[in-house]
Amino acid sequence: MIVATVVLAIGVVGATTAFNSATKVSSAASDIQLAALLAQQQINQTEVNGQGTISPGDSDGDFGSDYPGFKYHQSVTSTDYTYLLQVTVTVKWGANPERQRSVTTYLVNTQSNTSTSTSTSTTGGTGG
């Protein structure tokens, strides 16, 4: 009877530990997904607000009270092509500086308010 109780106790502790680990991993995955979506949202705002007249430079900000603790750094740089700019948005969250996600895209900068096209790629970061 005592052996069965000990085995049961070990099983309960193991199951509880596994549940806690799964919860942490799920939370980290949600943060990574949200960060990628927020980065894409920031790039879309840059594209819409710039309307073909985006200038190179860096900017920092946050996503307001809707997403507390999430901040971004945006870098717009020139490329070897006259009308093509590289836009990288890095979203950071939490107290750990390794918790970040970056999204890079290329925008056509026509300087004449005509259409702007994009090509997007997502680069890794760490979520935990």
pLDDT in tens, 5-64: 877 778 767 767 765 666 665 677 888 999 999 999 999 998 888 776 788 899 999 999
Distance (Å, whole) CA 106 – CA 125: 20
Question: Confidence class of residue 121 from pLDDT cuts 50, 70 and 90?
Answer: low
What mean pLDDT comes out for the span 61-84? 92
Distance (Å, whole) CA 94 – CA 29: 14
Sheet holding 100-108, edge to edge: 57-62, 70-78, 84-93, 100-108, 118-123
Look at residue 35 in the predicted model and tell me its pLDDT.
Answer: 93
